Amino acid sequence: MSLLVIGSLALDTIETPFGKAEYTLGGSATFISTTASYFLDGVRLVGIVGNDFPEKEIDFLKSKKIDLSGLEISKTKKTFHWHGVYHTDMNQRDSITTELNAFEDFDPVIPESFKDSEFVCLGNVNPEIQKKVILQLNKPKFIMIDTMNFWIEGKLNELRDTMKLVDMMVVNDSEAKMLSGEDNLLKAAKKIFDMGPKMLVIKKGEHGAMLITKDTVFCVPAFPLESVFDPTGAGDTFAGGFMGWLAKTGDLSPANLKVAIVYGSVMASLAVEKFSLDGIRNLSKEKILKRLEDFRNLTNFDFKSL
Amino acid sequence: MSLLVIGSLALDTIETPFGKAEYTLGGSATFISTTASYFLDGVRLVGIVGNDFPEKEIDFLKSKKIDLSGLEISKTKKTFHWHGVYHTDMNQRDSITTELNAFEDFDPVIPESFKDSEFVCLGNVNPEIQKKVILQLNKPKFIMIDTMNFWIEGKLNELRDTMKLVDMMVVNDSEAKMLSGEDNLLKAAKKIFDMGPKMLVIKKGEHGAMLITKDTVFCVPAFPLESVFDPTGAGDTFAGGFMGWLAKTGDLSPANLKVAIVYGSVMASLAVEKFSLDGIRNLSKEKILKRLEDFRNLTNFDFKSL
């Protein structure tokens, strides 16, 4: 099936305790579409970059068979630039610079050839933009949005408007609590279901992720690694693996949603092992399946009766 | 096989946001042995209570077919009493009172009939006492100790002496970090293996638990509950389920250790649903197996290739 991805493309400067990369390819749509490209060809990308966006990165995205018909290149502005510095424990980071540049004008027009997209992954952008995208589409089978505390605090009404139109939402645990006013995640999910989505993925960082639907709860741990090299993009990589698997299979059964969330975790665990996008630029099918197997050993057990 | 349990028996006063219970049966050995009694008959208990210990609780332990040959009843002192108050979020608690009473004199003498115990579960007590117990035993097949920050800070040398004699250790994540000086749990485990144990269970509270051996890592989530009624004894219940299953099966293979850690989590999740020991006083086999099945649905997924 077809997968449409909307979000940011950025040139990031990232500092972690392990090193520094300057003006390296980043952004939610970049991570999501690159990850999803391992699951299906022709991932449809809608985004905007500036006149400084490297030609070699365009070629990279093309090499992943990503359909760039919806990529706008600004003639006058530079690419979105974010500069972040991670603390020693890597769960904390400071944003040194956030220059929106061309991304400030992001007002996505969905190409005619993308309007029949069946699966839609809306990266973490202004919920008004997410809604405008959805309204341009021709009844997608499954719409997922990512969001963050910034929008919950600053654009709550707009976010709740958008939530009415989507099937699934991805948030982290503190955002789920903030949005629902409930500390318990099961209770939080019920309140969020009342706002529109039928399914929720709650990301818990180093503690993994939970999938909650009206009748299923599934937990997946974060893959235990001795060193996390750079957590940038882990959440977007997770979303790309999750939506990539769903779009590849077209199967929304509980059993297949579980596989999807594990593939999301598999891809995120591969991403954080290297700097920036490097962990997912050139993955072999074997490497992905090996990690999936490792996840199975990490979580599955044989049912043995008392 | 046989299971020996050493630890405290207490009369606790517990306050949670959901209620209060006064002088209710508690203590690590109580929770461990009661839990293990669902897996095998004749669990061997070594502990001490005071002259105020209710006869009906003796009868309760006997009804669980727990062998009380090693239970000392002080003629002059009262039973260990702890009074704890949980905060609204239940992850924090204050100890209002800790009266050791008879437990102050706890110097366990292992009955002759217990010395051939094959599985040994040493609850969270002074590591010097744990060592004295081990030295009285006749080559057990598997020894597990629980410990806590109090002993890591106050009796580190004694704890490290005891650790040389055991197969497995149970700690929570902050204790694993404190003991090893490593923030990363895999690295922490390696350092702890150098101190003696070949296996480690790291409890992560609401985030579940990890089993780490030299060649296996296994993660189990905490069971998602809408309300945790009283977390007292959750760790001990976990240990009781884990050791109960191992002693029942006598099988230390990686696959069976995984089942053991899930049974530990199953029993802990049932314990926290009610006050004090109430969650595990009268469980049916069906209720335990239903929760095991729920855990399978919560964590297991089908391997599906890309």
Q: Residue B175's pLDDT is what?
A: 95
In chain B, what residues touch A289 (CB-CB under 8 Å)? 305-306
Instruction: List, for chain A, all residue ranges whose pLDDT scores fall below the cut of 50.
Output: none
Give me the domain span that covers residue A74. Answer: 3-299
Record: contact A224-B218, CB cut-off 8 A: no
Please give the tally of structural domains in chain A. Answer: 1
d(C-alpha A227, C-alpha B195), whole Å:
22
Task: Decide: B131 and B158 in contact? Cβ < 8 Å.
Answer: yes
The DSSP call for residue A81 is: E
Q: Residue B92's pLDDT is what?
A: 85
Name the B residues in 241-280 with CB < 8 Å from any A CB. Answer: 248-249, 255-256, 258-259, 262
* Structural domain includes residue B233: yes
Record: contact B299-A304, CB cut-off 8 A: no
ipTM of predicted complex: 0.92
Closest by CA position to A64, among listed A89, A80, A44 = A44
Cα dist. A257→A164, A169, A212, B103, B301 in Å? 21, 14, 10, 52, 10
Record: contact A259-B301, CB cut-off 8 A: yes
Task: Decide: A268 and A50 in contact? Cβ < 8 Å.
Answer: no
Which has the higher per-residue pLDDT, A39 or B93?
A: A39
Does B105 score more than 90 pLDDT? no
Name the B residues in 52-111 with CB < 8 Å from any A CB. Answer: 89
Measured between CB atoms, does B286 come within 8 Å of chain A? no
* Structural domain includes residue B304: no
- In DSSP terms, B93 is beta-bridged to B86
Cα dist. A160→A79, A172, A182, A184 in Å? 29, 17, 17, 21
* Structural domain includes residue A235: yes
* Structural domain includes residue A133: yes
Measured between CB atoms, does B186 come within 8 Å of chain A? yes
In chain B, what residues touch A38 (CB-CB under 8 Å)? 306
pLDDT in tens, B200-227: 999 998 899 999 999 999 999 999 999 8
* Structural domain includes residue A305: no
d(C-alpha A304, C-alpha A291), whole Å:
26
Packing angle, helices B254-271 and B28-36, rounded to 10: 120
Q: Residue A227's pLDDT is what?
A: 86
* Structural domain includes residue B305: no
Cβ contacts of residue B269 below 8 Å, gap of 6+? B222, B223, B225, B291
Q: Give me the residue from A38, A186, A219 closest to B306, CB to CB.
A: A38
Q: Give me the residue from B183, B248, B303 closest to A89, CB to CB.
A: B183
Q: Residue A228's pLDDT is what?
A: 87
Record: contact B204-A207, CB cut-off 8 A: yes
Record: contact A299-B183, CB cut-off 8 A: no
Measured between CB atoms, does B302 come within 8 Å of chain A? yes
* Structural domain includes residue A293: yes
The string of DSSP codes covering A217-243 is EEEEPPPP-S-----TTHHHHHHHHHH
pTM of the predicted structure, to 2 decimals: 0.95
Q: Residue A219's pLDDT is what?
A: 98
B83: domain CATH number is: 3.40.1190.20
